Amino acid sequence: MLNRLVVFFGLFWVVTSAFGQSIERYSIIPRPAQLEPRAGEFIISRSTTIGVPFGQPDLKAVVDTLANHMNRSTGMNLSVRNVNKLTVPENLIEFIPSPDTTLGDEGYRIDATNKLITIEASSSKGFFYAVQTLYQLLPPAVFATKHPVPATNLTTLSIPACRIQDRPRYSYRGLHLDVGRHFFPVPLIKKYLDLMAMHKFNNFHWHLTDDQGWRIEIKKYPKLTQIGAQRRETIVGHYDDYDPQVFDGKPYGGYYTQDEIREVIRYAASRYINVVPEIELPGHALAALAAYPELACSPGPYQVATKWGVFDDVFCPTEKTFSFLQDVLTEVINLFPGKYIHIGGDECPKTVWKKNAFCQQLIKREGLKNENGLQSYFINRIDKFVTSKGRRIIGWDEILEGNGPAIRLSPNATVMSWRGIKGGIQAARQQHDVIMTPGQFCYFDHFQGDPAQEPTGFGGSLPLAKVYSYNPTPPELTTTEATHILGAQGNIWTEYISTWDQLNYMLWPRAAALAEVVWTPLNQKNYEDFTRRLPVLFERLSTLNVTYARTIYDVSFSAKPTGDGKVDVSLSADKQAPQIRYTLDGSIPSDESLQYERSLVLDKSTTIRAATFADGSALSQLAKMRKDYIVSKATGKPYTLLNAPSAGRPDKNYSLTDGVTGGMGGYEVAGVVSFSNDINAVIDLGQSQSIEGVRVGFLKYTAKNICLPKQVEISVSEDGKTFQLVLTAKTNPAEAGKRGFVRLPFDFSPTTARYVRIIARNIGRVPAGLRNPGKAAQLMVDEIEVR
């Protein structure tokens, strides 16, 4: 619940949230186009009436839903009445249809005073979005799904006085969900739609088929779900976590019956969400080929994929295949009433087509240039069929490839630009409608914080601020070309997302940021203002039992060695997180832990754990942020690399002795120096001293050809010219298993020296028994310590 103590602050009222932070009184996401704050509030009590005009059944359905929800969550019994000018009760929330065309189909006005709230819109869709704004003007407890027991004193509610005039910036505001890799049953799909509706998204892109599972019942082809919906097992961890890859041995499956599909469509429609089905073609087809191998270019057999990636086996462009796909799409079109059918078109390898005699003959017969032209031919056939049924295709931006004078997409085809923005620009200039969904701004399976600290993700970095910064309309487009940008969509691919909680962690609050990108006028966007509204969003989500990421409150670490061989560590956090508390013994911080005030100077190897707090309440996840620092006789000391590092991961400011250990998550590796040959480093300790061991942190990542060395040699010297060998140690470059940093110790009898030379011998080629035998091996190291 929000604290009811109210303070005036500039143009906005400020309250205190359960997180202990000051926030805007009008914590609406997405931010309305126009909002005029006013003093006072409208009190909702058991005497409040919600009024609708006679003869407006669609509007009354929207209002009944509002009343039922508030009654269920608060224990009130608000009444909905047909009212006219002669029977206006006091304490009224009145819904008034408006002839004002400037509101558009989805716009609305809210005028809230102490005594009356009037809501205007020109359609039931506009009224629906007005209701979503009303919910967000109320305390987060109104989002409770049922009245608490024992009852709280939520017998009155209030809406802050204001005037809002609002309409969306873009007509297409989408969220995507991949159910091919991991399946989410209908009750969770409905919750997904509820969260979309709350944030005024209006298109649900349902990715129903892929290599790892076919999830929609097709009556004419029952084996699609009997065989294609089941895989025998699933890869464990990230794709490259293990060498060899490890599988769980557990059958996995699931699909939606056509009745369930209809149920979801009805549910979405009641929330003014259109459902866009995706049937992948010609690639990502293994699940279908496992069921009907005759649709491939070779007889198979095939199996539903048990791991992730792009596979060479794709649909063969035979008449049998086109008949099959037309039958499937006919059933899909009969199920889904929306105008869009997504046909995929992405990541289709041409390997099989290049080798197949039929495909080569087809290329010649149709006068195509090559296999890219054959893909264009394939997409064009499907495009024409879908268009003949009165629908329009959407395809990933690869559908633009291979087009020529003889084969072009129909003008009705819409392009979904995912490989950056170039595809969207190209399509708009060709007068195709475009939905922007570039991976660098819209792929919510990417990491939102430090990959080493986050749950398993695909890879790449997409922090909340970057999502919010996106402008879907490329400035390169002319005014006319820009009219083809329908909007944007957030995508969430589920290779590494298997649970409802993890799905929501990856979505929220990034999806809320995108909601504001596609709804709010560009000149009204303000990231700092958005972050001030997040605490109330988080309370709403908590009330709905929806997991979310608090990455915005995470602690950031930066470190540098000092001149006297220590490590100076600085901690920082977003200004919305006023306190940082930390521990130096590896324990989880609490509100009683040390408060960070100045940089920490470490004189020994230390694990720092840190979290942010406000008024004694944790903001960041307590067990999350930790960093390991190494302090040794080598810390901060210069060295010479007698073999140059690889250009892709060079040495930066003596990073092998800076005390900072490397990190890894997804496909991301940080804090390492790479060598394509031997490592040959000479460290200058600054003065002669007693030493008795060296420890080197190597990265073992054999799936990426990064092996441990075959041998390490340690030598010492007083003058840096004449070295004495003190240790030769054999190591195991063929060691496989789980990837990770391996800190190998090399101990020897105490000796006195100023210089230490470490030579780590590269195996040269990846040994047999690993994933890529015979490939050039690399060495990667993150930190060298001397004891």
DSSP notation for 422-434: HHHHHHHHTT-EE
Query: Which residue type is seen at 440?
Result: Q
Q: Minimal CA–CA distance to 553: which of 607, 622, 490, 461?
A: 622
Do the beta carbons of residue 775 and residue 765 sit within 8 Å? yes
Contacts of 269 (CB under 8 A, 6+ apart): none
Q: Which residues contact 187 (CB under 8 A, 6 or more apart)?
A: none
Which residues have a Cβ under 8 Å from the Cβ of 10 and sit 6 or more positions away?
none
Q: Is residue 780 classed as helix, strand or coil in its secondary structure?
A: strand
What residues contact 294, with CB distance under 8 A and at least 6 apart?
320
Report the SS3 class of residue 328: helix
> 738 forms bridges with which residues in the sheet?
242
Q: CA-to-CA distance for 129 and 315, rounded, in angstroms?
A: 42
DSSP code, position 280: E
DSSP 766: P
What's the rounded Cα separation, in Å, for the pair 168 and 778? 52
- The 3-state DSSP class for residue 144 equals coil
| Cα separation, 293 vs 282, whole angstroms | 14
H or E element at residue 581: strand 579-583
Establish whether the linkage from the previous residue to 301 is cis, with ω within 30° of 0: yes
Tell me the C-alpha distance between 659 and 783, whole Å: 7
What is the phi-psi region of residue 450: left when phi exceeds 0, alpha when psi lies from -120 to 50, beta otherwise?
Answer: beta
Residue 562 and residue 569 in contact, taking contact as beta carbons nearer than 8 Å: no
Q: Is residue 668 flagged as an active site residue?
A: no
Phi, psi angles (nearest 5°) of residue 367: 70, 35
Please, how many CA atoms are within 13 Å of residue 452, restricted to the half-sphere of its CB?
A: 16
Q: What are 65's strand-pairing partners? A: none
User: Which structure tokens are listed for 140?
Assistant: 């987060």
Distances (CA, A) of 527 to 184, 371, 516: 32, 45, 10
Mind giving me the DSSP string for 75-98?
Answer: ----EEEE--TT---SSEEEEEE-
- Separation CA 763–CA 779 (nearest Å): 9
The parts of the chain modelled with pLDDT lower than 70 are 1-23, 84-88, 147-156, 404-407
Which of 784, 751, 787, 764 minimizes the C-alpha distance to 640? Answer: 784
Query: Domains, the chain, ranges and CATH?
Result: 7-166 (3.30.379.10), 172-519 (3.20.20.80), 552-629 (2.60.40), 639-786 (2.60.120.1190)
Q: Angle 68-70-75 (CA atoms, 0-180°, nearest 5)?
A: 95
Within 661-700, where are the H helices?
A: none
Please state, in angstroms and rounded to a whole number, the distance separating the CA atoms of residues 132 and 147: 20
Q: In terms of DSSP bridges, do strands 203-207 and 274-281 run parallel, antiparallel, or are they unpaired? A: parallel
Distance of alpha carbon 732 from the chain centroid: 38
Dihedral sign from CA coordinates of 433, 435, 436, 437: negative
- Cα gap 164→130, rounded to integer Å: 9
Q: How many whole angstroms separate alpha carbon 25 and alpha carbon 2?
A: 10
The residue whose two tokens read 């009705």 is: 412
- Parallel, antiparallel or unpaired: strands 594-595 and 579-583: antiparallel
Return phi, psi of residue 34, to 5°.
-140, 130
The closest alpha carbon to 626, from 569, 578, 568, 673, belongs to: 569
The Cα–Cα gap between 278 and 256 comes to: 14
Euclidean distance between CA atoms 603 and 595, whole angstroms: 19
Total Cβ atoms within 10 A of residue 659: 27
pLDDT of residue 407: 67
Gap between the Cα atoms of 92 and 308, Å rounded: 56
What's the distance, CA 353 to chain centroid? 34
Is there a contact between 353 and 297 (Cβ–Cβ < 8 Å)? Answer: yes
From the list 225, 358, 363, 351, the residue with the least C-alpha distance to 295 is 358
pLDDT of 5 reads 27
Contact 602, 627 (CB under 8 A): no
Block residue for tokens 């190291």: 781
Distance of CA 621 to the CA centre of its chain: 18
- Position of tokens 């004002």? 100
Q: Which amino acid is at 176?
A: H
697 Rama class: left (phi>0) / alpha (psi -120 to 50) / beta: beta
Residue in 260, 263, 347, 735 annotated catalytic: 347
How buried is 424 (Cβ within 10 angstroms: 0-12 exposed, 13-18 middle, 19+ buried)?
buried
The Cα 206–Cα 216 span in angstroms is: 10
Go through 91-113 and write b for each residue having 16 or more CB atoms within 10 A of its CB, e for each that does not. bbbbbbbbeeeebbebbbbbbbe
**Spatial distance between the Cα atoms of 463 and 735, rounded to a whole number of angstroms:** 35
Three-state SS at 62: helix
